Structure 1
């Protein structure tokens, strides 16, 4: 294990996922609601681990695969994010509930939650750019120590998602006010739509 390369991978992995995005907004909301937090955090972290591994071990091969898949992923991901943002905005406009023990006991079905989580993760081309392309490219600088780089990046992903999901519970007192919850839903909708717009314009 090359510790210097490991910490480089750790810091790079964290720097790429700390920025607010569709995936992080989803994890934050699940954490605030206390709904399937472990399953959602684990799903996001394992998804990142798979993509990072592919990027570090197979970047050259993957970059030559299926040139038509990029626009399909881009427009499909944008469509999903627009739809999900609309659901969040609808919730903000209609909901009058605060985050209480009673509301958190009515949980969304685990299967539906994981489908949404996987869709937000795997239909977002930016996830592939960050993990497969960017981390894969950076890892080529560490010939012979790419395993250490990948382990560091993967550990950073696990640490971040679980910290975000379970750390959100500390914000629950704020979200006991209905207005705070509605503001969060609006912000989530805006995040989804901004990312979708960037995908549609190809940036």
Structure 2
């Protein structure tokens, strides 16, 4: 998992921020992005692409990542921003907001396949980066757990949609609720 980070550390980049998102595929809710700067000597074999982990495992790793990170940021792009700009651009907005929260100077940003412009530091998009770089995998966990919590809160407001169960993804149950109740305005 550390191959990507190690490659760039050997090139002189010692403080590497990983960035990923959660919520690009769902039919409901915001897109959430996280940026995570882990210490070079941090290693946790359980950290992996959030999609490969159970909800229980993600929840267990969430405080471990937050405690051990040199710095991290978590940010959103709203549903109205998704509607206005499209999901791809809204994801970039959320990612840049998350990076802005990093409070430790860094050398490099690695993203999960998302090119970002406008940063003073180099950005390298890595295809399937959340499975290749620990810092991106950690960011994917921070983003996924945070977004899931938002959707669980929305479930309290709109229990008829079942957000607690499907987190806004287009499951049979969610599609049936949309058919019955219509979209939330």
Higher strand share: 2
The two structures share one fold, judged by TM-score above 0.5: no
TM-score (norm 2): 0.30
TM-score (norm 1): 0.28
- When Rg is computed on C-alpha atoms for both structures, the one with the higher figure is 1
